Amino acid sequence: MTHGPRDRPRVALTFHGQGDPALARQLLTQAEKAGARVTVLAVGSWLDTHPDMARRVLDGGHDLGNHTQHHIDVNAMTEDEALAEIEACAGRLRRLTGSVGTWFRPSRTPHAAPAVLRAARRAGYPHVLSYDVDSLDFTSPGAAAVVRNVTGTVRAGSVVSLHFGYPDTAAALPLLLADLDRRGLSAVTTTELLS
C-alpha cells in the first residue's frame, strides 16, 4: 500500500521509529500542537531500549506499527527469517501495548518482496505499508531540503516517509505541517487515511 484515496484532503506522515527518544518526543509534541496525528513504525530493538516510547506514541493519538526487530534488509531474508524479524517486533509491541499494531513496514526497502508479504500476513499484519513520498531526511540534507522533498510531491492521499532520530526532521516538521495546512491537507494516522 503506497497511498490512500486521492479524493480526500488527507496525508499520512509515517516515521521510522528509532533514534534519540528526546527527538522522537519533540516530533510527537510538534505534531500534536499542530493538531496532526502520525504513524510510527517502531524498530523492535529501539522499543527494547526505550519501552516507554510505545505508550507515548499511542497516548498522543498516533498509530504504532512494526518496522522489524533489527532494521536489516528484510527482502534479503528467507520467508522464515523475515517472519522471525517481524514476529520479534510484534511480540514487543504486544507486550508493551496489548496489540501487534495495525501496520507493518519492511525495513531497508520501500516495497516488500512476496516472501516478506507472506511472512507479514503470517505474523498477523494484513496490511504492508509503503509510501509515495520520500523525505530523504535520513541523508541529513537540512530542514529546508526535507520540506522541499515532501512539498514537491505530496498530494491528497500521500503516505510520507520520515524518520525519528534526525535533527533536520525535527526542524522541518513545523514548516511541513504549516505548508500542508495552507494546502488544506490534514495530517492523519494511516488508519484514518485509509478508512
Residue 113, pLDDT > 90, answer yes
- Cβ count near 184 (within 10 Å): 8
State the pLDDT at residue 195. 87
Mean confidence (pLDDT) of the chain: 96
CB 68 within 8 A of CB 74: yes
Q: Which amino acid makes up residue 19?
A: G
Between 68 and 195, name the one with better pLDDT.
68
Question: pLDDT at position 102, please?
Answer: 85
pTM: 0.96
Would you say residue 15 has pLDDT above 90? yes
SS3 14: strand
Helix, strand or coil, per DSSP, at residue 45: helix
Handedness of CA 109, 110, 114, 120 (dihedral sign): positive
